[in-house]
Structure 1
Amino acid sequence: MSFKFVKYIKSDNKAKNESQSLKTIFQQASKSSDFHQFSPFKERDTIIISYYKSLVDTKIINYLLIPNIQEHFEKIKEPSDIKNLIPFDEVLVTSDPIEVEKKLTKGYVIIHFKGSETQEILTINIQDDNLGYRTNNETENEFSVIGPKVGFVESIAVNIHLLRKRMADTKLVFEEIKIGSLSKSEIVIAYLDGITNPQYIETVRQRLNDINFDVVFDSSQLEQIISDNSNTPFPIFLSTERIDRVVYAMISGQVAILSNGSPYIVTGPSTLLDFFVSPEDYYLSWILGSFFRIIRIFSVLFSMFSTAIYVAILTFHYEVIPNDLLEPLISSRAHVPFPPVIEAIFLEITIELLREAGARLPTKIGQTLGIVGGIVIGQASVQAALTSNILLIIVSLSALASFTTPIYKMSNAIRLLRFPFILAAATLGGFGIIIVFALLLSHLLKLKSLGNPYMVPLFPFRVKDFKDSFIRSSYQLTTNRSKFLRPLLPSRYTPSQDKDDKNDDWS
């Protein structure tokens, strides 16, 4: 079925190419109020200038383009003559109407001769790349106390500029691809030539070229379309708005995907442990960075299993409760009419409602709602005997633990996984938790990112790649890139001479 659909699209485009003409293009464009077409000479309208006012910088047209054409009008016999007289670098002379239509909708100015037999058309790039985009590019969703605060914006030209400023090397390569039958979205593949494995570059290039989509709104759509497995709650590619994270991924041998209109950059191939790494780990000492990274990993495990273990113990495994905890548990649940699974799901859904409402409301109102709503609902639930004090503490800690994940998409996956564990614990107790965990582990072992195993360095087991996984080792030990990425240049840098040896030279 898909083959017939693609074939139909191609034949339709072919028919469009044959029937398209410059006249029909301008007739269609003139239906829009922002389309402008005029001649710079009132008495002689041989030269016609056409453009969309909403896409171009009209000051350049009025103060640079038109005066140059009027000054050298006697020398202009055909559109190619204008190319040699105007001070613009991106000027193209073409006779293809389809190319003219593409350029017109991308912010180019079209110049043609009225009644010309040569049908040569001049396209000039005068688009305003920053028009309508925000200038504030702080990393709001991936904030760090230490380190740079500069992030990406919705303009792909600005994002390329930011990456080029950070990595001043000719090895940094940007490849442009057009995607979207209606949007003609500009997609850029970024990588370091001579470092990134060509297999990853070719895989990304092929998957992007195979996309048949109408409008690409955000890089998150590309992430789902080119994913190795879309039937998973886990993000296969790492999506970030931080420049330093993208730079680190590229110097490690990964590929970055930029999408025009999106402030998030997609990098891959990614592993599960990449989503628990914060750029702040590298700005602190390796001891502190490793400690906080381990805290995040244990927080995720606590967030997934804590509520489910509570439900399993109170439903099936009373014998594991210490004697000192029996009295507080009994008094806490003495007046609760619901089984543990009902009160657990009630509190979990309440937390999710508060979290979603706080995220959708304005910042100040959302913060107030989260704090006040959590206190009021929690206290009222305990007083109304709808839930126990102990479970309220566990669910609250579980929600806080899920926030320690640096990447928002991985945090969402962890939030979702708590519910299957709770239901399994209520049905089969501890054995149900083990079954769900085994299914989850087998699912993770089968996942791949650009053909690379998702659980590296745990599976396949890579001892040398543990230097920057669960812990962040000293810079003296992380001189080589991760081997599972198969970089063409294994070494990142050469560590300096030992400081003790330098001090000895001064003695």
Structure 2
Amino acid sequence: MRKKQKRSKNSIFPLPIDQLLETIQSKFEGNDDLKISKHEHNGKKLVLFYIEYQADSDMLQNYLLRPILHIKKDWTNDELINHIPLTSPNKETELEKILEGLIVGHVFIYVEGESEAVSYSIVKKETRSLEKAETESLVLGPKISFTESLKTNLNIIRWRIKSTDLVVEELKVGKTVPAGVRLVYMKSIANEVDVNTMRQRIEDLDIDEVEDSIVLKQYLEDSQNNLFPQFDSTELPDRFTYGLTKGKIGVLMENSPTGIVAPATLFSYLESTEDLYMRWQAGSFLRILRFMSMFFSVLVTPAYVAVVTYQYGIIPTQLLISLGQSRAAVPFPPLIEALILEFLIELLREAGARLPTKVGQTMGIVGGIVIGQAAVEAGLTSNILIIVIAMSALASFTTPSYLLGTTIRLIRFPMIVLAGIFGLYGIIFGICFLIIHLLNLKSLGRPYLVPLYPLQLKDFNKVFFRTPFNHLNKRARSYRPKDLIRFSKQEAEKRKDIDE
């Protein structure tokens, strides 16, 4: 014989309707969007209560209220569930659960004398349609980006990875303003230690609210005082799923159009899924170009300052004459000159990002030309430094990750100061400091410079350059996936032509 389910110790039912409403209204004191609808039939009293604007008004009228009023028998919870044409009714007995349900858009129905309140989720959510990615633009490959709807984002991922191996775990962050978080990974590929570490960090997060996944990322990273991003963030579903199939862990958050992928390395920020959509020779060239651009962007302006200030003896004579002529009317030392121009470039870049798209593009181009030309004519800077600064700015734009691009821009300023004070020795000191710092940095407990340190030569063709797909039969060892083999190399190399 089946045992009767024990009633919860925190149950507030059965309760007179007036007393129930008084309790709930006291919790929502000062809120006019709590709506209450009382009804009576055959001596039985019933009340509906919900938060206006959270519930879909059409569904409320057509699928809840109308069927209830057409019930001819006495109102009971069983009768309500049988006549309401909606699935997944919930029964709640605790006040805290009822309050949580109201906040997220549930409509509650309570028949006086019953031991439970019945609730239905008829949430009305305003979401934008799928659009082209703004911060991570691609020439080849899928163009759609994540939206603020968690359900939509999960739907996109499920469509891209049609496999029962995909795991989506439901978690929550925030005490005052709770938000839904989903931990996403491939159970046969992802390293269990990484999964457990990420889950524990999310569950242990003790905070009132988290505004966005980008903010959540900063709470979860190994070091919050570090300039370098330690978790990758993306608005592209294909980049997100690409990370999952490599053995990484993904995190999605409610009301955020950005996904988190971890662990990450310094070199993963220079990868783009676009490299996969073109021939391996072109993909390798572009990836190597990005690596060179990163170093060029950090070092070219400090090198100019160091050489012009101290080591001008290494400059060719003809170039030195031209450089001297261009700097003859400049009243500032190279250090101040470079800092002023870098500051102007950052102003133009930030202004262009904050203005409307068309106005921002025009302002960036026209502003750069006008200010640069005016600065040279006014004798505030040399035309050679204008070229150097422009090349440095262009190189920084080749980085696919906006976060790493911002980091490179910030690193450039202390490097310029070191170059202006100590010359090339200052640049060498700055590079050594950065290398030591990066060697100590970790992402989800994994080394940040892998596969360079610790050295994993077999992963170089997956990080620094690309090889043909039939040679990529193994996943990167750097992320320590459960399943290292992607496919059989011998089978892949066999010809599949019909006439053979």
TM bin (shorter chain): over 0.9
1:159-179 per-residue CA deviation (whole Å, 9 max, x = no partner) reads 011101111111111111121
The residue aligned with 1:288 is: 282
- Indicate yes or no: 2:227 matched with 1:206: no
Normalised by the size of structure 2, how large is the TM-score?
A: 0.93
How far off its partner does 1:491 sit? Answer: 1.5
How far off its partner does 1:112 sit? Answer: 1.1
Question: What is the alpha-carbon distance in structure 2 between the residues aligned to residue 81 and residue 362 of structure 1?
Answer: 56
1:283-302 per-residue CA deviation (whole Å, 9 max, x = no partner) reads 00000000011111111111
1:447-478 per-residue CA deviation (whole Å, 9 max, x = no partner) reads 11111111100010001111111102211111
Normalised by the size of structure 1, how large is the TM-score?
A: 0.92
Contact 1:152 1:159 (8 Å CA) reproduced: yes
- Indicate yes or no: 2:334 matched with 1:340: yes
The residue aligned with 2:123 is: 127
Match of 2:309 among 306, 315, 334: 315
- Indicate yes or no: 2:97 matched with 1:99: yes
The residue aligned with 2:447 is: 453
- Indicate yes or no: 2:402 matched with 1:408: yes
Q: Which moved more, 1:339-348 or 1:200-209?
A: 200-209
How far off its partner does 1:75 sit? Answer: 4.6
Taking the TM superposition and a 5 Å limit, the aligned residue runs for 1:86-165 are 86-114=84-112, 116=113, 118-128=114-124, 131-165=125-159
Count matched residues.
Answer: 484
- Indicate yes or no: 2:64 matched with 1:65: yes
Contact 1:163 1:247 (8 Å CA) reproduced: yes
How far off its partner does 1:45 sit? Answer: 7.0
- Indicate yes or no: 2:499 matched with 1:506: yes
1:8-67 per-residue CA deviation (whole Å, 9 max, x = no partner) reads xxxxxxx9x9xx976432333363232211035589671111111211111111111122
SS at match of 2:300: helix
1:98-121 per-residue CA deviation (whole Å, 9 max, x = no partner) reads 01111110011111124x3x5411
Taking the TM superposition and a 5 Å limit, the aligned residue runs for 1:258-277 are 258-277=252-271
**Structure 2 unmatched runs, 5+:** 1-9, 13-18
SS at match of 2:182: strand
Match of 2:163 among 169, 178, 189: 169
The residue aligned with 2:15 is: none
The residue aligned with 1:394 is: 388
Change in CA separation of 1:498 and 1:152 when aligned onto 2, cut-off 3 Å: closer
Question: What is the alpha-carbon distance in structure 1 between the residues aligned to residue 43 and residue 341 of structure 2?
Answer: 77
1:318-371 per-residue CA deviation (whole Å, 9 max, x = no partner) reads 111111211110111011010000010000000000000110111111111101
Contact 1:289 1:471 (8 Å CA) reproduced: yes
How far off its partner does 1:137 sit? Answer: 2.4
Taking the TM superposition and a 5 Å limit, the aligned residue runs for 1:454-469 are 454-469=448-463
SS at match of 2:134: coil
Q: Which moved more, 1:390-399 or 1:169-178?
A: 169-178
Contact 1:80 1:122 (8 Å CA) reproduced: no
Contact 1:227 1:236 (8 Å CA) reproduced: yes
Question: What is the alpha-carbon distance in structure 2 between the residues aligned to residue 30 and residue 45 of structure 1?
Answer: 28
Contact 2:284 2:464 (8 Å CA) reproduced: yes
Q: Which moved more, 1:96-105 or 1:137-146?
A: 137-146
Contact 1:195 1:488 (8 Å CA) reproduced: yes
The one-letter amino acid paired with 1:68 is P
How far off its partner does 1:408 sit? Answer: 0.4
The residue aligned with 2:4 is: none
The residue aligned with 1:436 is: 430
Contact 1:178 1:184 (8 Å CA) reproduced: yes
The one-letter amino acid paired with 1:125 is S
1:362-405 per-residue CA deviation (whole Å, 9 max, x = no partner) reads 11111111011101100000000100010000001101110100
How far off its partner does 1:199 sit? Answer: 1.0
Question: What is the alpha-carbon distance in structure 1 between the residues aligned to residue 23 and residue 479 of structure 2?
Answer: 51
1:61-97 per-residue CA deviation (whole Å, 9 max, x = no partner) reads 11111222223351532x3542343232222112111
The residue aligned with 2:241 is: 247
1:429-457 per-residue CA deviation (whole Å, 9 max, x = no partner) reads 11111111111111111111111111100
Q: Which moved more, 1:360-369 or 1:378-387?
A: 360-369
RMSD: 2.0
Question: What is the alpha-carbon distance in structure 2 between the residues aligned to residue 68 and residue 265 of structure 1?
Answer: 41
How far off its partner does 1:184 sit? Answer: 1.0
**Structure 1 unmatched runs, 5+:** 1-14
SS at match of 2:73: helix
SS at match of 2:469: coil
Question: What is the alpha-carbon distance in structure 2 between the residues aligned to residue 268 and residue 502 of structure 1?
Answer: 37
The one-letter amino acid paired with 1:107 is G
